[in-house]
Structure 1
Amino acid sequence: MDLHLKDKVVVVTGAAGLKGSIGETIIQALANEGAIPVIVCRNDRGFGYEKELQDKGIDALFVKTDLTDPVQVAAAAKKIGEKYGRIDALINNIGVNDGVGLDASIDDFMGSLKLNLVSFFAMTKFCLPYIKKVQGTILNIGSKVSLTGQGATSGYAASKGGVLGLTREWAVDLIKDHIRVNAIIIAESWTPAYDTWIKTLENGEEKLKAIVDKIPLENRMTTPQEIADTCLFTISKKASHTTGQFITVDGGYVHLDRSLLSK
């Protein structure tokens, strides 16, 4: 299916993660559709991804940015706007399940909010003038933790709950500007970060099997590519009458009846 994303300027935050991470996978999927991927992230890996894409003849840009710093975020949006004159889609993808729980300091909790929630507000605020120029779209990447809780991660849970609240609020705010705002909710996805976490556990393989066995559809994790595909469809004109929605890409992990898991 042609999603008509060719030459569309799509900004993705937190997209300089390891190969196979959700952000990096989204960037590669955008490139395959002929879009112009813009990576906004603090990791220097982004320079390599920019060069890799440019060497393939793809117009790509990396803007090194600490997303917890509003001054840097404003500068990044300005740089993108000056280069391209518009932003067709913004994908707020940054997120770190940082384990800031009830035993953490207030400063740590505020730091978690800055990275996982305030960065969404700042990036959207400063990119909005360029999004409005072309009646673009905004897509927020959420987490099942906002709906189910997880334990020992108050900062991340509060942030991702806030992301869903902002999604609905912005969808209402921007109706008059014909700007769609949606959220993708992810549950268990096999990423390099997930692999690293499993390897820190004494009973990692046992824990992994217990998680996978609880995913109703095919008893497997969602792949980053499946998430990227849903993101691209949602920002495309193929989803032109979809706004204010929470789209759960999780193999039924959050919503389906646990009786499905009986063996």
Structure 2
Amino acid sequence: MNLELKDKVVIVTGGASGIGKGIVGALLKEGAAPCILDRDGGDVNTYADDLGSSTEKIISLAVELTDETSCRNAIETIVKKTGRIDALVNNAGTNDGVGLEKGSIPQFYGSLNNNVGHYFLMAKLCLPFLKVSKGTIVNIISKIYTTGQGGTSGYAAANGARASLTQDWAQELEKHRVSVYGVSVAECWTPQYKKWISQKDSPEEALKLINSKIPLENRMTTTVELADMTVFLLSRKSGVNSGQIVFVDGGYVHLDGG
């Protein structure tokens, strides 16, 4: 299917690894021009090595997403180079384990800032350009906002906010023909996930138990599957479904897996 994304300028936060990197790869395959905003910037050459894709359309910038000036400078650089912004994928964040019992109040506020503050900031900065392009915002959301996990209050609250913002922005921006979607992630194998599970007493047994709870095929969602859905939502082929949150999780949430 031709998603008609050729040369579209799409910002992907946290695009240097994991789910974000998968999304960048899917965009490249559709001929889009992805812009990576990541704390580490990211080595563009790895996209050619890992994905077999041309890197000539990529813009990769080292950005501290919690810093407004850093984000503003990045947007200015992108617009100066491309003249437009067609879409934003808010993806960056981390399950930082700031819980109710062991987390402090400053840590909780910090978790919100690290995991949802930049979603608002990036949308705010991109909005003038998205209005012109009648573009799209996709917010990547953890299933934790519906299932909970325990011991991670900050991340859970941030993802609840991501979901609520998706629906609120969809209503606010419909008059500008800007579409807003959410993609809900459950268990997906990423470098962050690998690091987390390696800290378990028995990583192999923990992984086996997690996979057993995923109804469809008893396996984790891949970054490719998440990327394909995200890129589809970024295209006009997704239709007039703004405000929807799509669960890409093998039935984990809705088929009684979690």
Could you tell me the TM-score, scaled by structure 2's length? 0.94
Q: What letter is aligned with 1:22?
A: I
**Aligned equivalent of 2:58:** 60
Q: Which deviations, in whole Å up to 9, do the C-alpha atoms of 1:87-145 show, x marking residues without a partner?
A: 11100001100101112122211111111111000000001111111100000000100
Q: CA deviation at 1:78?
A: 1.7
**Aligned equivalent of 1:23:** 20
Distance in structure 2 (CA, Å) of the matches to 1:27 and 1:188? 20
Distance in structure 2 (CA, Å) of the matches to 1:76 and 1:50? 21
**Aligned equivalent of 2:156:** 157
Selected match of 1:72 from 70, 84, 104? 70
Q: Secondary structure at the match of 1:133?
A: helix
Distance in structure 2 (CA, Å) of the matches to 1:70 and 1:225? 31
Q: 1:51 to 1:248 in 2, by over 3 A?
A: closer
Distance in structure 1 (CA, Å) of the matches to 2:55 and 2:137? 26
**Aligned equivalent of 1:178:** 177
Q: 1:174 to 1:46 in 2, by over 3 A?
A: farther
Distance in structure 2 (CA, Å) of the matches to 1:72 and 1:256? 42
Q: Secondary structure at the match of 2:242?
A: coil
Are the counterparts in 2 of residues 31 and 58 from structure 1 also a CA contact under 8 Å? Answer: no
Distance in structure 2 (CA, Å) of the matches to 1:244 and 1:117? 18
Distance in structure 1 (CA, Å) of the matches to 2:97 and 2:113? 14
Q: Which deviations, in whole Å up to 9, do the C-alpha atoms of 1:43-94 show, x marking residues without a partner?
A: 14245558879x9363110121100111111221122122212111100001
Q: What letter is aligned with 2:26?
A: A
Q: CA deviation at 1:240?
A: 2.5
Distance in structure 2 (CA, Å) of the matches to 1:186 and 1:134? 28
**Aligned equivalent of 1:145:** 144
Give ranges in structure 1 of 5+ residues lacking alignment.
none
Are the counterparts in 2 of residues 143 and 185 from structure 1 also a CA contact under 8 Å? Answer: yes
Selected match of 1:37 from 34, 37, 40? 34
**Aligned equivalent of 2:104:** 105
Question: Map of 1:1-263 to 2, 5 A cutoff?
Answer: 1-17=1-17, 21-46=18-43, 48-49=45-46, 56=54, 58-102=56-100, 103-257=102-256
Are the counterparts in 2 of residues 12 and 90 from structure 1 also a CA contact under 8 Å? Answer: yes
Q: CA deviation at 1:202?
A: 1.5
Shift >3 Å, 4+ stretches: 46-53
Are the counterparts in 1 of residues 41 and 61 from structure 2 also a CA contact under 8 Å? Answer: no
Q: How many residues align?
A: 256
